[in-house]
Amino acid sequence: MKQGALIWILAVIIFGGILIFFMNLSPENRFDWNENYAHNSDQPYGAEVFYKLLDSYFPENDIERNEVLLDVQDLLNDSSSHKTYLFIGEEQFLKPSEVDALFKFIERGNTALIIAKQPAYPILSELLVDSVFNTESLLKSISKESVNAQFYDPALQNQINYNFHFQQIDLKSEYQFTYFSNVFLRQNKAITPLGVIDDNNVNFITAQVGKGRVFLHTNPLFFTNYHLIKNQGAKYAESVLSYLKPGDIIWDSYAQNWKPGTDSGLLNQNQSPLSFILNNPPLYWALVILLVTGLLYVLFAFKRIQRVVPVIEPKKNSSLEFIKTISRLYFIEREHPTMVRHQMRYFLSWIREKYRIQASELDDQTIDKLHVKSGVSKEIIQDIRDEYQKVRVYSVLDDKIAIKFHQSLTRFYKNCK
C-alpha cells in the first residue's frame, strides 16, 4: 500500500471519528435512557442520587455494597447492631438459599427494603398464608404516561399528590407501573399497606417477619436520578426512608443480574452474549474502543517501524557540589563576613517560605512569632541575633567567630518543627 493512500484512509477514519464524537454530544445521545439502577450511574434512570441520599439521611452509618451471593454469616457478621438490607432494580434475582438467608436476617430484628417491579418470587410466597400464586396474580400493572402517588400516613401525605412519569429524551412515554393485587393483600392479614398510586392501587407495603420488618415497593422508577433531582421526588424518597431504623445499610448489587438457579429472570436465560454487551453502555463502549484500537493498529502496522530512540540520561542535581565549591572559595579568600551575611539572608528567606514570617531582621516581634511557629526556644533564636550583631560590623573575622555563628544556626535547624 502506498503511503499517500494510507494517509487518505487515516484522514477519513479520523474525520469520521470526530463527526461521530460531535454527534454524540447532542442531548439526544448524551444520556442513556434505559433503566439500570446502578449506585454509581449518573444517567437519568440510574440510582446515584438515591445512593447519596442514603448516605446523607444516615450520616453516622455505613453503606456496604454486596457483590456476592447472600450468606447468613455475611449478613449477620455483627448481630449486635441493627442493619437494613436494600435492593433497587427492575427485577430481583435471588436463589432459594439467598432468600432463606435474607429471612433469617430479618427475623433477627433487622430490616429489608426491596424496591423492584418484580421482587424475588420466594419472598412474595413467604408472605402468603394459604395458597401459592404465580407472580401474575400477585402483581398487577397499569400502562400510563404518569401516575400520582400518596401515602396512607397523614404525616407523610403531600398537599398535592406526588406525580411520576416516564420520559425518554424530551417526550413522555407510556410505562408499566406495578402494584400489588388485592388477592395478594388478602392472603396475609399481617401485610400493612403504606402507599398507593392511582385509584387506590397499593404499591408500598410492610410486613412483620420475626423480630424484623420487610418493606416492598413496586416502582423503582420513583427513586431514579431523573425524579430525585426534583423537590417532590426527593421528598417522596425521604418519606419512604423515614420508615427505616438507623443502622448500617447493605446495598445488594449482586441481585440485579440474573444467575443460574434464580426463580426470576427466565427471559434472560436465552440472551446472547452480544446482545448483553450491546444493552450495557460500559460494555458497549469498551467493545467500540477495542474495535477502533484494533483497526488503528492494523493501519499503523503498514508504516515502517521507527528506529529505537536513544536513552537520554536525566540531568544531575549539582547544587550540592556548587555549594561546596563556593564554600571553599570563601574559605580560601578568608571572606568570613560575606559568608555570614549570606547565611543570615538565607535564614531570613527560609523562615519567610516555611513559616510565612515577613522580616528583614530578627527583632523582638519576629523572635516571638518564630518561637511560636517553629517551637524553638527564644534563647536559641536570640543567640542567632546576638552572634550576628557581633560579626556584622566587622570587615575581617577569624574562624572561631564565624564557626560560632554557624553553630547557632545549626541548633535552630535541628530543633525547629
Q: What is the pLDDT of residues 330-362, one digit of tens each?
A: 665 556 677 777 778 888 888 888 888 888 788
DSSP class per residue in 268-301: GTT--HHHHHHTSHHHHHHHHHHHHHHHHHHHHT
Count of alpha carbons within 13 Å of 185, Cβ hemisphere only? 18
Region of 316 (left: φ > 0; alpha: ψ -120 to 50; beta: rest) is beta
Between helices 336-355 and 378-391, what is the axis angle to 10°?
A: 150
**pLDDT score for 226:** 93
> Could you read off the pLDDT of 123-143 as tens digits, one per residue?
888 877 555 555 557 888 999
Q: What is the CA radius of gyration of the chain?
A: 36
Average pLDDT, the chain: 79
Q: Among 1.25.40, 3.40.50, 1.10.3470, 2.60.120, what is the CATH number of 31-270? A: 3.40.50
- The structural domains of the chain, with segments of one domain joined by +, span 31-270, 322-415
Q: Identify the CA nearest to 204 among candidates 174, 177, 234.
A: 177
> Could you read off the pLDDT of 99-119 as tens digits, one per residue?
888 999 999 999 999 999 988
CA 142 to chain centre: 35
In the numeric block, which cell numbers belong to residue 29? 445521545
Higher local confidence (pLDDT), 281 or 30: 281
**pLDDT score for 262:** 67
Q: What is the largest CA-CA distance in the chain?
A: 109
> Could you read off the pLDDT of 9-29 as tens digits, one per residue?
665 666 665 555 555 544 445
**pLDDT score for 366:** 84
> Could you read off the pLDDT of 291-331 as tens digits, one per residue?
777 677 666 665 655 566 778 877 776 666 666 666 665 66
> Does residue 150 carry a pLDDT above 80?
yes
CA distance linking residue 96 with residue 75, whole number of Å: 16
Q: Identify the CA nearest to 200 among candidates 181, 227, 216, 173.
A: 181
| Confidence band for 2, pLDDT divided at 50, 70 and 90 | low
**pLDDT score for 269:** 39
> Does residue 179 carry a pLDDT above 90?
yes
pLDDT-above-90 percentage for the chain: 26
| Confidence band for 268, pLDDT divided at 50, 70 and 90 | very low
Overall residue count recorded for the chain in this entry: 417
